[in-house]
Amino acid sequence: MLKHANASCVELALELSDGNVSLRLQDNGRGFITEKPINGTGVQKLGLVAMQERASLLGGRLTCVSRPGRGTRLRTIVPFTADKAIT
């Protein structure tokens, strides 16, 4: 967020419901075109790809909604049961 978004406001929400953990992260930063998250040299960035892979490894999914000049919203949903809780 600080490195890429240039946001002045960031909202983080964590919710547990219906056997899932949901993490939502939203900012009012510069946003980007989600179809091609690339850097200035034309090389695809790996940040979103890595986050999607991590969510998938946990049996979950990551969604990203972003538009240039309109900020970004990331949401990860991962299955959760009490027997898998870390204590």
| CB atoms closer than 10 angstroms to residue 86 | 3
pLDDT at 18 over 60: yes
Within a domain: residue 25?
A: yes
C-alpha R_g of the chain: 14
Domain of residue 34, residue span: 10-81
Residue 86 inside a domain? The answer is no
Q: For 19-45, how does the pLDDT look when each residue is reduced to its tens digit (9 = 90+)? A: 999 999 999 999 988 776 555 555 556
Per-chain mean pLDDT for the chain: 84
CATH number at residue 26: 3.30.565.10
- Total domains, the chain: 1
Q: Is 5 a domain residue?
A: no
pTM of the model: 0.76
Domain membership flag for residue 63: yes
Residue-wise pLDDT for 58-69, tens only, equals: 999 999 999 999
39 lies in some domain: yes
